A and B are shown apart, each in its own frame.
Chain A
Amino acid sequence: MTPRRLAPVLLAGLAGLVFGLGLAVSRMVDPARVLGFLDVAGEWDPTLAFVMAGALAVTLPAFRWLPRRQQPWLGGRFQLPTRQDVDARLVAGAMLFGVGWGIAGLCPGPALAALASGLPEVVGFVVAMAVGNAAAGRLT
């Protein structure tokens, strides 16, 4: 691979590594913690709120300033979503996701990171998630 092709792969790999590290450090890879946050009528665990606050403390300023640059560090262009409308697909998708998230306590990032735990049920979750994702992709 030429350096021009390799650089984006290395940077994305590093971003994935830091993302996965963040999920592990914040304990978001543990479904018990995530459901502890979602269980408002139980023994409430505020962890998820602090994780979101930490992430937004970085992304709120970063996403304001970075796209004003001419182009990303490795070239190309910024590809940000432009849609503003709220449609039935967005609402239905978010509701379905919420139900699944509430059952297992896993969303896509933590599920992929937790693959490294070696638990076979997590592998099952990720395979099912990939199938569901591809199925929805065929509709669009």
Chain B
Amino acid sequence: MAPFDPVSALAGGVLIGLASLLLLGGLGRIAGISGILGGALGRPDADTPWRLAFLLGLPAGFVLWAWLRGELPEVHLQTGWPGMLVAGAIVGFGTRLGSGCTSGHGVCGLARLSPRSLVATVIFMLTAAATVFLIRHVIGEGA
């Protein structure tokens, strides 16, 4: 895996921030991925086209970066099929139930100084860290 690179990390973060700025400034909407996905999965309405366009833009950005660099961005999976399916289902369920994910609560909600988003962000960060600890250092060492 490539070494830690603070410049790429900051630059990528700024791009994510600019994308959120575009959506808020242009459409007046929050760039919360789980919310946009949830809306796109629901009954089609006037917002469906822009939601689908945004969601399609995400993999397109991945392709653009691969094209600019001449190599695919690294994606090292950390779990097998069962883990991916279970994790996907609870990520989808949890982010909809909790009204947001890393983008909606983390990037946009924190920027709005929303108490709900701060609480959600702290909880999912801590829960995720505890889960990783359990898998890597408790179960992992026991196996």
What 18 new A-B contacts, CB under 8 Å, besides A103-B83, A136-B93? Answer: A12-B54, A20-B58, A22-B13, A57-B17, A77-B28, A79-B29, A90-B98, A97-B90, A97-B128, A98-B123, A101-B127, A102-B128, A103-B135, A108-B34, A116-B63, A129-B91, A132-B88, A137-B38
Q: Which residues does A use to contact B, with CB under 8 Å?
A: 5, 8-33, 35, 38-42, 45-48, 50-60, 62-64, 66-67, 69, 71-74, 76-81, 83-86, 89-109, 111-117, 119, 121-122, 124-137, 139-140
Let me know if B44 is at the binding interface, CB within 8 A.
no
Q: A12 and B50: CB pair below 8 A? A: yes
Which 8 A-B residue pairs are closest in the complex by CB-CB distance?
Answer: A16-B57, A93-B98, A54-B13, A20-B61, A26-B12, A98-B127, A102-B131, A58-B17
Let me know if B143 is at the binding interface, CB within 8 A.
no
Q: How far, in angstroms, from A82 to B131 measured CA to CA in the complex? A: 31
For B126, list chain A residues within 8 Å (CB). Answer: 98
Query: Size range of the interface on B?
Result: 35 or more
Per-residue A-contact encoding for B1-14, CB less than 8 Å = 1, 0 else: 11011101111111
Q: B8 and A16: CB pair below 8 A? A: no
For B60, list chain A residues within 8 Å (CB). Answer: 13, 16-17, 20, 116
Q: How far, in angstroms, from A83 to B104 measured CA to CA in the complex? A: 14
Q: B129 and A104: CB pair below 8 A? A: no
Q: A30 and B128: CB pair below 8 A? A: no
Q: A33 and B1: CB pair below 8 A? A: yes
For A107, list chain B residues within 8 Å (CB). Answer: 33, 91, 95, 101-103
Closest beta carbon of chain A to B24's beta carbon, Å: 5
Q: B17 and A55: CB pair below 8 A? A: yes
> Considering the complex, which residues of chain B in the window 70-95 have a beta carbon less than 8 Å from any beta carbon of chain A?
72-81, 83-95
For A56, list chain B residues within 8 Å (CB). Answer: 13, 17, 107, 110-111
Q: B29 and A112: CB pair below 8 A? A: no
Q: How far, in angstroms, from A100 to B97 measured CA to CA in the complex? A: 13
For B25, list chain A residues within 8 Å (CB). Answer: 62, 66, 69, 72-73
Q: How far, in angstroms, from A93 to B116 measured CA to CA in the complex? A: 12
For A62, list chain B residues within 8 Å (CB). Answer: 17, 20-21, 24-25, 111
- Taking a contact as CB atoms closer than 8 A, the residue among B22, B110, B128 that contacts A99 in the complex is B128
Q: B92 and A27: CB pair below 8 A? A: no
Q: How far, in angstroms, from A98 to B100 measured CA to CA in the complex? A: 12
For B110, list chain A residues within 8 Å (CB). Answer: 56, 59-60
- Taking a contact as CB atoms closer than 8 A, the residue among A8, A16, A24, A80 that contacts B112 in the complex is A80
Known: A22-B12, A83-B116. A29 touches B130 (CB 8 A): no
